[in-house]
């Protein structure tokens, strides 16, 4: 039999590039592996890899804890002293060591209880859904709103081991609609909500259904989050790039989008523009759209019959919220009474939630005809349903504890602390990067990243060319090898010809030390490649 070869595969797959998990991340994995062995560890100039390449807040090595309301992370400081067995008066730990059956049942139950209350990390709404009998054990100890929430979801869902409705659990979709109504001040219909395995699954579905066998053009910002270019490559859509303006804080310019449309028409390739992707707040730029630009974008979509795909996964990541509040495209479309078809995406992976691994998100359809919506439903039903744990995550995202509820004070303290840490790190990193020779960095109001621009010496550009790499890839690789800091080169997000950037996250703890390493590396890199800057 002939072995399966790459040539046998869908050629579109070969064109898919996803820099966030690309060459740099693979190299970082290798280095992590080497750090595990004493022999190799001694030969490396750093003791740990700092994962600044991906917005994955709860990743090992970063310090963002899960929100207690969702997960009830056990904090050793909060741990009550273990209860004692009524029969033998021990803490039940005999049960752990015993291989005989002589331990009392009370002791065994207590051991399990003390383990659960004191040691096991993943509990709360999510955990009560995983293991409903836990409710009886914790009901007098955990906040009553957590217990009530879990009971309500249990009554609706039953076992989380069962498939749900393909669009997601109806009650959770209702809660999403309520959240949107409250956020925007306009009605939202649960039937327009589709729960997804993260925003990625929703984006992928929409691009899949929008791209027809004729040449379908999708307007995407540059720089962009590479989910878009990767998915367009997968489904053979045509990216129509429009450049964001770095000198104007990465703003979105209508002229750039019009120019991209004109170019698509002038190319004479028959590409039909079908949709406009807007990432707001932006990734990798962190820029936030103002309401006037949002209105203009909606009118532009009207004028060119474009579907508006609004990626709003960073809506809760705004560092100066009083000065820069978030406005959704749903609100703009409704306020303008626009007929533009709009799909907006949200996720539990970002914000202060950071539950990336749980895979939860949703999209809302607005001005989407019932027969189109029915087709979307047909397509999601092929995948049966999004993960139940992700759906429960979405419920916690859209229904955080309210003021006056028992979990509210703690939830507020935790989420405030995460916002403050992100704001502080972002400001500090932007200031220090801007002070470096040959670096300019927009101090973003939102998202989880900075996207500094590099003026690289000609020597570095030449060395990269010889190595068959982009110059910012060379920079990022040397940064990783010298310091253990993993960032993503700008070439993965798109940039103007001859420009160089990299994206780093603002999630890494020990920011002073980390930025110090970046600075030292940068100065050394310039020297190495012949810049006197």
The residue ranges that bind ligand PLP (CB under 6 A) are 55, 198-200, 225, 227, 279, 283, 311, 313, 347, 349, 356, 361
Q: Whose Cβ is closer to ligand PLP: residue 55's or residue 490's?
A: 55
Give residues with Cβ within 8 angstroms of 38, minimum separation 6.
Answer: none
Least separation in angstroms between residue 199's CB and ligand PLP is 4
Q: Whose Cβ is closer to ligand PLP: residue 361's or residue 494's?
A: 361
Q: Whose Cβ is closer to ligand PLP: residue 311's or residue 470's?
A: 311
Least separation in angstroms between residue 283's CB and ligand PLP is 4
Least separation in angstroms between residue 324's CB and ligand PLP is 17
Report the alpha-carbon distance of residue 204 to residue 210 in Å, rounded: 10
Q: Evaluate the CA torsion angle 492, 493, 495, 501 in order and state its sign.
A: negative
Least separation in angstroms between residue 519's CB and ligand PLP is 27
Q: Whose Cβ is closer to ligand PLP: residue 55's or residue 489's?
A: 55
Give residues with Cβ within 8 angstroms of 43, minimum separation 6.
Answer: 34
Least separation in angstroms between residue 311's CB and ligand PLP is 5
Residue 439, classed as helix, strand or coil, is strand
How many CB atoms neighbour CB 258 within 10 A?
14
Q: Whose Cβ is closer to ligand PLP: residue 203's or residue 257's?
A: 203
* Buried/exposed code over 415-444 (b: 16+ C-beta within 10 A; e: otherwise): beebbebbbebbeebbebbeebebbebbbb
Report the alpha-carbon distance of residue 57 to residue 66 in Å, rounded: 9
Least separation in angstroms between residue 104's CB and ligand PLP is 47
Least separation in angstroms between residue 315's CB and ligand PLP is 11
Q: Whose Cβ is closer to ligand PLP: residue 286's or residue 484's?
A: 286
Least separation in angstroms between residue 83's CB and ligand PLP is 40
Q: Whose Cβ is closer to ligand PLP: residue 312's or residue 472's?
A: 312
Residue 399, classed as helix, strand or coil, is coil
Least separation in angstroms between residue 348's CB and ligand PLP is 7
Residue number, nearest CB to ligand PLP: 198
DSSP 8-class letter at 487: -
Q: Whose Cβ is closer to ligand PLP: residue 311's or residue 414's?
A: 311
Residue 527, classed as helix, strand or coil, is helix
Least separation in angstroms between residue 360's CB and ligand PLP is 7
Give residues with Cβ within 8 angstroms of 352, minimum separation 6.
Answer: 64, 67, 316, 414, 415, 418, 419
* Buried/exposed code over 78-98 (b: 16+ C-beta within 10 A; e: otherwise): eeeebeebeeeebbbebbeee
Q: Whose Cβ is closer to ligand PLP: residue 68's or residue 349's?
A: 349
User: Is there a cis peptide before residue 76, judged by omega within 30 degrees of 0?
Assistant: no
Specify the residue for token string 């003791």. Answer: 47
DSSP run (H or E) holding 156:
helix 144-157
Alpha helices in 168-273 (DSSP H): 170-184, 198-210, 227-234, 254-266
Q: Whose Cβ is closer to ligand PLP: residue 452's or residue 457's?
A: 452
Q: Whose Cβ is closer to ligand PLP: residue 198's or residue 492's?
A: 198
Least separation in angstroms between residue 278's CB and ligand PLP is 10
Report the alpha-carbon distance of residue 30 to residue 407 in Å, rounded: 42
Report the alpha-carbon distance of residue 119 to residue 320 in Å, rounded: 37
Give residues with Cβ within 8 angstroms of 376, minimum separation 6.
Answer: 194, 205, 209, 365, 368
* Buried/exposed code over 147-165 (b: 16+ C-beta within 10 A; e: otherwise): bebbeebeeebeebeeebb
């Amino acid at each position: 039999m002939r072995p399966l070869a790459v040539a046998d595969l869908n050629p579109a797959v070969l064109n898919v590039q996803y820099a966030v998990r690309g060459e740099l991340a693979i190299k970082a994995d290798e280095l992590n592996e080497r750090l595990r062995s004493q022999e190799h560890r001694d030969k490396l100039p750093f003791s740990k890899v700092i994962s600044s390449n991906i917005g994955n807040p709860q990743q090992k090595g970063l310090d963002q804890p899960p929100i207690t309301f969702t997960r009830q992370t056990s904090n050793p400081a909060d741990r009550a002293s273990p209860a004692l067995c009524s029969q033998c008066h021990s803490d039940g730990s005999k049960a752990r060591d015993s291989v005989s059956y002589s331990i009392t049942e009370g002791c065994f139950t207590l051991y399990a209880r003390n383990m659960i209350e004191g040691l096991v990390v993943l509990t709360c709404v999510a955990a009560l859904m995983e293991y409903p009998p836990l409710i009886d054990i914790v009901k007098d100890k955990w906040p009553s709103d957590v217990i009530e929430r879990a009971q309500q979801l249990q009554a609706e869902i039953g076992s989380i081991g069962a498939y749900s409705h393909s669009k997601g659990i109806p009650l959770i979709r209702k809660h999403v609609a309520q959240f949107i109504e409250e956020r925007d001040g306009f009605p939202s219909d649960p039937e327009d909500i589709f729960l997804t395995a993260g925003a990625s699954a929703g984006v992928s579905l929409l691009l899949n259904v929008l791209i027809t066998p004729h040449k379908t053009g999708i307007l995407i910002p540059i720089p962009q989050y590479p989910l878009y270019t990767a998915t367009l490559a997968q489904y053979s859509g045509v990216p129509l790039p429009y450049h964001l303006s770095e000198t104007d804080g990465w703003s979105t310019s209508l002229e750039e989008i019009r120019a991209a449309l004109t170019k698509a028409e002038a190319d004479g390739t028959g590409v039909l523009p079908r949709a406009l992707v807007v990432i707001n707040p932006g990734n990798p730029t962190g820029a936030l759209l103002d309401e006037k630009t949002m209105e203009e974008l909606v009118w532009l979509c009207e004028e060119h019959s474009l579907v508006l795909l609004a990626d709003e996964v960073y809506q809760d990541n705004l560092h100066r919220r009083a000065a820069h509040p978030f406005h959704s495209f749903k609100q703009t479309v409704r306020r303008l009474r626009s007929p533009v078809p709009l799909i907006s995406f949200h996720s539990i992976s970002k914000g202060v939630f950071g539950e990336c691994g749980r895979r939860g998100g949703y999209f809302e359809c607005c001005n989407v005809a019932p027969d189109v919506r029915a087709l979307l439903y047909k397509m999601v039903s092929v995948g049966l349903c999004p993960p139940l744990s992700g759906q429960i995550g979405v419920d916690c995202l859209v229904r955080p504890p309210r003021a006056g509820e028992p979990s509210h004070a703690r939830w507020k303290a935790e989420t405030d602390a995460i916002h403050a840490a992100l704001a502080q790190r972002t400001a500090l990193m932007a200031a220090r990067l801007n002070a470096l020779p040959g670096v300019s960095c927009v101090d973003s109001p939102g998202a989880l990243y900075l996207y500094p621009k590099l003026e690289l010496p000609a020597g570095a550009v030449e060395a990269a060319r010889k190595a068959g790499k982009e110059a910012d890839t060379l920079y990022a690789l040397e940064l990783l090898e010298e310091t253990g800091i993993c960032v993503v080169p700008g070439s993965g997000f798109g940039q103007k010809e001859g420009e160089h950037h990299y994206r780093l996250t603002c999630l890494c703890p020990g920011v002073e030390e980390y930025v110090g390493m970046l600075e030292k590396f940068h100065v050394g890199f310039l020297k190495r490649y012949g810049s006197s800057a």
